[in-house]
Amino acid sequence: MLGIVVWGLALGQALLITGNILLVSVTALIGQSIAPQGLATVPVALQFLGLMSSTLPAALLMGRLGRKKGFLLGNVVGVIGAGLAFYAVSESLFLLFCLSTFLLGIAIGFGQQYRFAATEHAPSHKAPQAISLIMGAGVIAAVLGPNMAIWFEYLFPDVQYLGAFAVLFVL
């Protein structure tokens, strides 16, 4: 039996990937509506740039500070990014939206460490099962992420997809 920490990490992974898929589902559409001509996909690119630029530093930082503090820092960055995205979309502020997606990418980069944390909290003979559980959380996300974009598209009737960032903030 896997411990509660591993199950908690699996839940964290499911929420992270759900948010990531939700973000990918709506970012270019939002960019299309608020970006200057030809720049609609810049926020998506910045999300992935944030992810790529933070994955290795996140691992190194967690090695120094511990996983718990590293995940907390990543989540704080994600909450700030989601809050900024909510504001940027509500006010049609393209540059702020770009910054917010970069921050959300950084948070996702920190979240990439969940599978490694799971192996550290599972007995050695259960490590493959722990990794499978963490990665299997992506199946939940594959269903929830795009559907949440649809379900919350008009949570705030005046601004399309603004509800996605309210949900992302909660995730």
What are the phi and psi torsion angles at 31 (to 5°)?
Answer: -55, -40
pTM: 0.90
pLDDT digits (tens, 9 = 90+) for 96-108: 999 999 999 999 9
Contact by Cβ (8 Å): 162, 90: yes
pLDDT of residue 117: 87
Q: What is the mean pLDDT of residues 63-85?
A: 95
pLDDT of residue 168: 83
Q: Where does the pLDDT of residue 67 fall: very low under 50, low under 70, confident under 90, or very high at 90 and above?
A: very high
Rounded to the nearest integer, the mean pLDDT of the chain is 91
Q: Where does the pLDDT of residue 1 fall: very low under 50, low under 70, confident under 90, or very high at 90 and above?
A: low
CA-angle at 152, arms to 112 and 138, nearest 5° = 25
CA proximity to 167, closest of 30, 14, 155: 155
The residue with greater pLDDT, 74 or 16, is 74
pLDDT digits (tens, 9 = 90+) for 120-146: 888 888 888 888 888 888 888 888 888
pLDDT digits (tens, 9 = 90+) for 39-56: 999 999 999 999 999 999
